[in-house]
Amino acid sequence: MRARSVIIGFLIVIGVLVAFFAGRRALHVMAYPIGTGESKKSPDGRYEAHVTDWYDESYFGHRRQWFEFRVTGGSSRQLVTDPIPGPYFGSRSTHTVIYWADDSAFVRFVFPATEIRMTP
């Protein structure tokens, strides 16, 4: 009888630990996806360009990172790509990757290895 109560106690402790760590992991990934980015209004003020570096992680550890380029105002356009090598950009960086044409006809997202050009 004593052995049975020890086994039941052990299973309860294991169950509590599994529930604790499963809940902890769920809280950890609840905030995903997260991203940082940059946005800039066009010179004429009618459009806005956005670039966001996104990161996501699933409950079981699958990781994914991507870039999202958008131009809003008028008709919105969006492009999603794999990450592009280059300098860090975003809300905590002084490096700029968005450059509008003087007449707001197009916007360039400039990285060392590539340049993406979108029209509003």
Mean local confidence (pLDDT), 41-62 = 93
Say what the pLDDT of residue 92 is: 64
pTM (two decimals)? 0.76
Say yes or no to pLDDT of 90 above 80.
Answer: no
Say yes or no to pLDDT of 120 above 80.
Answer: yes
Mean local confidence (pLDDT), 9-27 = 91
Per residue, the 3-state secondary structure of 31-94, as one string, reads CCCEEEEEEEECCCCCCEEEEEEEEEECCCCCEEEEEEEEEECCCCEEEEECCCCCCCCCCCCC
